[in-house]
């Protein structure tokens, strides 16, 4: 027979109320007592009745998570981190993949009022800020990503302008003067802010912004990086360094250089963004911007649950904008060993 709450209480030598407090992550439990209860839960393989608990608390226990895709390693890791953090906090995340399609993103917006979920974490790529501003969601929402966010929404994102500027400054500091950029996607938030950081670094160093060195891509895949690098290498005066707006494209760019007989970083330096695991294991390893994904997941859930609780209690909370910390990780693709430099 499955273990019950009172069985755990008996094994741990505490009250049923104390066990309930531990199961529901109530902070007002002494660490030693919490440890004893958790040990009893593990020994008895106790599994809380989530349906009954959620019915009693007035919540479904489900949250929505809408992301553009899972093929890009960044979004795969982001989803995994948020999923794990939601589970730790007693929620189940329901995944919606939009494909960065504006109609699919509108479908997410029109459907979040369903009573199935308590709240939504949403990473839009295609919708304009005004359309998001006009959205009247039926549940609490936290927005992710680097698009302009209208007032009234909790928002968690990496500050990509200073991060992109910093990695471009690193390329300039390592004696590169003709620096390409791979990853421009018209009207896409991530693209525009990373391009702005790149542009700022060039201007600050007195280097010209050459649109011929900025390559448009259809998506942020390895194949797009490979094709874009081939286009740069075919220029009459190719670049001596390239900033790719994500690591997947940087991996493709390094491969294109190898196929062209170019040495990285001796002939051309390559840098990326996002610090996906693959970037540490390529040959050469790829210099990148490493956002703190644990903070991103933790803050997203913290803000969402804060807003869920406020909605349940009928209270008002002011929107919060959280800047996710990042660091510059200098690796072999720009002439360094594997090391981390603070932002």
Higher-confidence position of 42 and 241: 241
The single residue listed with the structure tokens 């995994």 is: 80
pLDDT in tens, 190-207: 888 999 999 999 999 999
pTM of the model: 0.78
| Strand pairing category for 141-144 and 154-158 | parallel
Superfamily of the domain at 60-158+292-325: Response regulator (3.40.50.2300)
For residues 199-219, average pLDDT: 96
Question: DSSP strand E in the chain: where?
Answer: 62-67, 92-97, 119-122, 141-144, 154-158, 179-184, 214-216, 241-244, 269-271, 288-291, 321-324, 326-330, 339-342
Query: What is the chain's mean pLDDT, rounded?
Result: 88
Q: Pairing relation of β-strands 92-97 and 141-144?
A: unpaired
pLDDT at 100: 81
The domain 160-291+328-342 belongs to what CATH superfamily?
Answer: Response regulator (3.40.50.2300)
Q: Which of 102-111, 170-179, 207-216, 249-258 is the least confident region?
A: 102-111
Domain ranges of the chain: 5-48, 60-158+292-325, 160-291+328-342
Tell me which fold the domain 5-48 belongs to. Answer: 434 Repressor (Amino-terminal Domain) (1.10.260)
Catalogue the E-assigned strands of 220-304. 241-244, 269-271, 288-291
Residue 48 to residue 50: CA distance in whole angstroms: 6
Q: What is the pLDDT of residues 79-121, one digit of tens each?
A: 999 999 998 888 889 888 988 888 888 888 776 555 578 899 9
């Amino acid at each position: 027979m499955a273990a019950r709450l009172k069985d755990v209480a008996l094994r741990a030598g505490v009250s049923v109320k104390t066990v309930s407090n531990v199961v529901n992550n109530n902070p007002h439990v002494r660490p030693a007592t919490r440890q004893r209860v958790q040990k009893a839960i593990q020994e008895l393989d106790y599994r809380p009745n989530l349906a009954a608990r959620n019915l009693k608390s007035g919540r479904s226990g489900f949250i929505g998570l809408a992301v553009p895709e899972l093929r890009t390693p960044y979004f795969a890791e982001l989803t995994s981190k948020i999923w794990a953090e939601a589970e730790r906090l007693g929620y189940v995340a329901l995944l919606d993949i939009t494909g960065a399609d504006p109609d699919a993103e509108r479908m997410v917006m029109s459907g979040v009022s369903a009573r199935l979920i308590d709240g939504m974490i949403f990473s839009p790529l295609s919708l304009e800020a005004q359309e998001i501003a006009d959205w009247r969601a039926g549940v609490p929402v936290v927005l992710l990503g680097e698009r302009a966010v209208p007032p009234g929404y909790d928002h968690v994102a990496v500050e990509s302008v200073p991060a992109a500027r910093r990695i471009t400054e690193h390329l300039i500091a390592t004696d590169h003067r003709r620096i390409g950029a791979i990853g421009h996607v018209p009207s896409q938030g991530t693209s525009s802010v990373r391009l702005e950081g790149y542009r700022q670094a060039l201007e600050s160093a007195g280097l010209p912004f050459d649109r011929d060195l900025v390559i448009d891509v259809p998506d942020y895949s390895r194949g797009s990086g490979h094709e874009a690098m081939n286009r740069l290498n075919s220029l009459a005066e190719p670049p001596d360094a390239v900033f790719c707006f994500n690591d997947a494209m940087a991996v493709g760019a390094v491969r294109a250089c190898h196929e062209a007989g170019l040495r990285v970083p001796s002939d051309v330096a390559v840098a990326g963004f996002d610090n996906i695991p693959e970037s540490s294991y390529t040959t050469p390893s790829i210099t990148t911007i490493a956002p703190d994904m644990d903070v991103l997941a933790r803050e997203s859930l913290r803000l969402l649950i804060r807003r869920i609780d406020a909605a349940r209690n009928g209270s008002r909370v002011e929107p919060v904008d959280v800047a996710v910390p990042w660091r510059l990780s200098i690796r072999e693709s720009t002439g360094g060993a594997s090391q981390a430099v603070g932002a």
